[in-house]
Amino acid sequence: MAQFKGNAVVGQSGGPTAVINESLVGVIQAVKESGHIDQLLGAKHGVRGIINESFIPLKNVPGELLDRIAATPASALGSTRDKPDAAYCEKIFKAFAKNNVRYFFYIGGNDSADTARIVAELAHKESYELCVFHIPKTIDNDLRVHDHTPGYGSAAKFVAAAVMGDNFDNKSLPGIKVDIVMGRHAGFLTAASVLARQHDNDGPHLIYVPESPLSEDKFLADVDRVYSQHGRCLIAASEGISKPNGLTWAESMAQGIEHDSHGNVQLSGSGALGDYLADLIRRKLSPPGGKKLRVRADTFGYLQRSFPGFVSPVDAREARLVGRMAVQYSAEGQTEGSVAMRRLPDAQYKIETFLTPLAGVAKETKHLDASYIADGNNVTDAFVKYAKPLAGELPNVGGFDELD
């Protein structure tokens, strides 16, 4: 039984994913169907749209447009990186009270879960009746408690396909190639590059994640060994790879690089780390006096989070589901939490959703389990088993070496 009578606000926050609008459309559909909410207001650019009372009424958006929006990457309502403090939250309440908002659905990552937590706590303190639900999204897949996060599967599919194509590229014109994959602190997305491998000699030959500190010596020895063995080398490295001294490669490489408003170092939207690693290999591993090694680097950049038309169907379905479930939980009388998924112990991949406290998801990031990392330069079969159903089917490719 729904507890509060009034309107709802839905907002989107943080970095884009390819399926974040599936969750939004899930909320809209479920609100239309359940009937316990009066108006459904979409906040433009997250919490910023709330304090500015910049809303889009969402109940009457035509279904044809919703279908297209669901297939569109990046927040259709606009996003924000604002992180509300107490004063900011006062403004949120004023806007909520003025508009009789009793349900707040916030789609985002762990920063957004933290925003939801702060808003919910202030609501308690001020005895304002408010349901607060965090709806997960992040390509980083780094939310605690959640088995995995909508947005990750599609990004994983994109990275796996990109590395798969690059493996054939590298096979046809052999050389050393570095691919930089998103993920500041968690290596889930970089690790997904393993899904590109189909045969013994396929790349990525080396996979580096932030969880496993990497010295320059080990990196160069790894590349040298693979290149000697295969005459080529394909490397997937996370933008957040770190050195044994605790600094990231990006930090030790650059001084005075940009920070975003959350204090994070700018790693994405720049090819600097990839170019640095390529140059390092070229300088240190080219034969003295001989021909320079052919080394190239690509930084996959924003394409990983906002490439349209190439989503994982499982991911799209689950993103829709967590949006719908947030509304359903609110209709059942739940008042707050993060909508999480867990796997059922079936042989086939199957999940169910549950509500988990906001505080347990907020702020902190989840990391790749140690059992997923091998030798500091590879990932394990256990990780493949974990990630494969999330990315879904990959292109069905082949080569003449299958005849051997």
Residues that bind a copy of itself (CB under 8 A): 12, 15-16, 18, 42, 45, 56, 61, 65, 68-69, 71-81, 161-162, 164-166, 168-169, 171-173, 177, 258, 268-272, 274-275, 278, 292, 295-303, 305-310, 394-400, 402-403
Structure tokens at 192: 């997904």
In contact, 4 and 333? CB cutoff 8 Å: no
Rounded CA separation 338/135 (Å) = 6
Q: Tell how strand 373-374 and strand 101-108 pair up.
A: unpaired
Q: Is 19 helix (H, G, I), strand (E, B) or coil?
A: coil
Q: Per-residue DSSP letters for 40-82?
A: EEEETTTHHHHHTT-EEE-TT--HHHHHHHHTS-S-TT-----
Estimate to the nearest angstrom the gap between the alpha carbon of 350 and the chain centroid: 21
Residue 68: other Cβ atoms inside 10 A: 13
Task: State in angstroms the smallest separation of the CB of 4 from a copy of itself.
Answer: 26
38 carries an active-site annotation: no
In contact, 176 and 230? CB cutoff 8 Å: no
- Ranges assigned E (strand) in 160-271: 176-181, 206-208, 233-238
**From 82, 114, 140, 315, the catalytic residue:** 140
Pick 242 or 306: Cβ nearer a copy of itself: 306
Cis peptide before 308 (omega within 30 of 0): no
Exposed, middle or buried, 388 (CB in 10 Å: 0-12/13-18/19+)? Answer: middle
In contact, 242 and 215? CB cutoff 8 Å: no
In contact, 102 and 6? CB cutoff 8 Å: yes
Task: State in angstroms the smallest separation of the CB of 199 from a copy of itself.
Answer: 12
Rounded CA separation 286/374 (Å) = 27
Q: Is 108 helix (H, G, I), strand (E, B) or coil?
A: strand
Rounded CA separation 145/296 (Å) = 38
Task: State in angstroms the smallest separation of the CB of 197 from a copy of itself.
Answer: 14
Pick 12 or 248: Cβ nearer a copy of itself: 12
Instruction: Map tokens 């999330």 to a residue.
Output: 390
Pick 6 or 15: Cβ nearer a copy of itself: 15
Instruction: Map tokens 């005459």 to a residue.
Output: 231
Task: State in angstroms the smallest separation of the CB of 295 from a copy of itself.
Answer: 8
Pick 25 or 37: Cβ nearer a copy of itself: 25
Q: Give the H or E element holding residue 103.
A: strand 101-108
Residues belonging to the active site: 140
